[in-house]
């Protein structure tokens, strides 16, 4: 994967909404290999730090303890990134995708229980190639992914988002 392949969006792919407040903090999202990463940058602060971590709003309460245990046992989690520059952060993420640590962390992340009462979208639509739009489940344990469709709007219409 190349850093240029990572597209940051202001729209939360799990809910379809923009973040509530962007004052002094920039929040963007990217969907990589089925994992939604939240990329944050506190502009107008003394720190120029960019960070990325998995999307957590849809997790069950017990999942946080399991994820903390994974971080304690693992060597940094595999899905948590930080850098002083946006370009370098994207390069760091691109280099990590597909590595053994990424796969181990992704599998641990996908195994965490989701909150069944969470009211976000059931599917999020991602592009995997030219004219290939896929619907990825918000809860991997309950649904299979669907696709491909030739257009994004066709995919959204098919999954009812």
Contact 11, 18 (CB under 8 A): yes
Q: If you count them, how many residues does the chain have?
A: 161
User: For helices 100-110 and 61-73, what crossing angle results, to 10°?
Assistant: 160
Q: Mean pLDDT throughout 62-81?
A: 79
Burial (CB < 10 A; 0-12, 13-18, 19+), residue 115, is middle
- pLDDT tens, position by position, 127-138: 888 888 888 887
- Report field, pTM of the whole predicted structure over 0.85: no
- pLDDT tens, position by position, 6-56: 888 888 888 877 777 667 788 899 988 888 999 998 776 666 789 999 998
- 113: DSSP letter: P
SS3 content of the chain, % helix, strand, coil (to 5): 30, 25, 45
Task: Tell me what pLDDT residue 22 has.
Answer: 67
């Amino acid at each position: 994967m190349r850093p240029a392949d990572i597209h940051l969006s202001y729209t939360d792919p799990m809910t379809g909404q923009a973040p509530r407040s962007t004052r002094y903090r920039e929040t963007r999202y990217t969907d990589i290999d089925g994992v939604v990463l939240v990329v944050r940058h506190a502009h107008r602060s003394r720190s120029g730090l960019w960070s990325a971590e998995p999307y957590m709003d849809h997790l069950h309460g017990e999942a946080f303890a399991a994820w903390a245990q994974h971080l304690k046992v693992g060597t940094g989690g595999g899905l948590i990134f930080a850098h002083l520059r946006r370009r370098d952060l994207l390069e760091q993420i691109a280099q990590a995708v597909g590595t053994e640590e990424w796969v181990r962390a992704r599998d641990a992340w996908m195994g965490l229980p989701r909150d069944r009462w969470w009211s976000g979208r059931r599917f999020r639509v991602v592009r995997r190639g030219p004219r290939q739009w896929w619907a990825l489940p918000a809860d991997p344990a309950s649904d299979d992914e669907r696709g491909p469709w030739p257009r994004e709007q066709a995919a959204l219409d098919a999954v009812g988002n």
